[in-house]
Amino acid sequence: MLTIRDLTKTYANGVRALDGISLDVPRGMFGLLGPNGAGKSSLMRTLATLQEADAGTVVLEGADGRAIDVLREKDLVRRQLGYLPQDFGVYPRVSAEDLLNHFAVLKGLSQRKPRREVVEGLLHQVNLWAARKQKLGTFSGGMRQRFGIAQALLGDPRLVIVDEPTAGLDPEERNRFLNLLAEIGENVAVILSTHIVEDVTDLCPTMAIVNKGKVLLAGEPNAAIEALKQQVWRKQVSKAALPGYETRFTVLSTRLVGGQPVIHVFSADAPEEGFERVAPDLEDVYFQRLREHARIVA
């Protein structure tokens, strides 16, 4: 369990990246949804002890059951943390096996035989054993991400943080990577930071939506979807008429179908003739919270 309370961070340029963030992250997959600039990466870097917070508390339940102060006991946290940042660089001329072995040494696995067993086990777990002798510069994007997860799992972490891990992956690699995360989430707390709603829908029993440093919603995706039941409406409109609908109604999303916009509108009653009520999904929840927050701060 990770407990975050009233976490704040303001950068030197005046941007308030974290504005009183409070979250409870249990064991399993936890989705952190938000647009670019929402504060997700700032939160991840703070939890990963890579930057200081201005105020607030973060407590991680350690392997021995002891509560660890994440903001003050950084060395202890790092020994129980796995982190895959958004931009994970590798040495292109080094093999996967050699680099993972190097990371294992840095993680404190100094004895050769136990280290070799851990490295071999992780390469099998992330399905890179057959490619262990390949240079990392030859890896596909999905293979590099799976290698990144392997290094994040060194040392049996209690908390694993992955920041935008599926951006740029093709559908097959994305599915393979998400299945791997789901397996990892059976044993530890995994925070999946993303702006891709489907990743959270597919994987996460608990989640939060953040924007401009604030938590807009936290809880179970199914409960959030249920709360929008009977309040999402769909209609195909012309491109010329679209601005008018956006002015009159709370348009959640717009996508082209057959070359014409199809809009989803949030409303307790039918917005006007021609709309049909549809079952909401997590994307509708996401956009409804963003639209509501934009209205409040306007």
Per-residue confidence in pLDDT tens, the chain, 298 aa: 899 999 999 999 999 999 999 999 998 999 999 988 889 989 999 999 999 999 999 999 877 778 899 999 998 888 889 988 877 777 889 999 999 999 999 888 888 999 999 999 999 988 899 999 999 999 988 888 889 889 888 988 889 999 888 877 788 888 888 888 888 888 889 999 888 888 898 889 999 999 999 999 999 999 999 999 999 999 999 999 999 999 999 999 999 888 889 999 999 999 998 999 999 999 999 999 999 988 887 6
Distance between CA atoms of 238 and 251, rounded to whole angstroms? Answer: 14
Given a contact cutoff of 8 angstroms between Cβ atoms, the answer to whether 139 and 97 are in contact is no
Q: Which of 173, 188, 220 is the last residue of a domain?
A: 220
Q: Are residues 130 and 235 both part of a single domain?
A: no
CA distance 270 to 168: 38
Do residue 30 and residue 169 come from a single domain?
yes
Same domain, 206 and 256: no
Let me know whether 235 and 270 are in one domain. yes
The structural domain count of the chain equals 2
Task: Kindly report the CATH number assigned to the domain that includes residue 237.
Answer: 3.30.70
Both 166 and 286 in one domain: the answer is no
φ/ψ (deg, to 5) at 241: -85, -15
145 and 281 assigned to the same domain: no
Question: 108 and 249 share a domain?
Answer: no
Instruction: Specify the CATH number for the domain of residue 152.
Output: 3.40.50.300
Together in a domain, 172 and 285: no
- The CA distance from 33 to 221, in Å, is 11
Verify that 202 and 291 share a domain, yes or no. Answer: no
What is the SS3 assignment for 101?
Answer: helix
pTM across the whole model: 0.88
Question: Residues 170, 45: one domain?
Answer: yes
Domain that holds residue 63: 2-220
Among 220, 243, 275, which residue terminates a domain? 220
According to the model, what pLDDT value does residue 26 have?
92
What is d(CA 267, CA 227) in angstroms, rounded to the nearest whole number?
13
Q: Which of 220, 236, 271 is the last residue of a domain?
A: 220
> Is residue 119 located within the same domain as residue 174?
yes
Statement to judge: residues 96 and 157 lie in one domain = yes
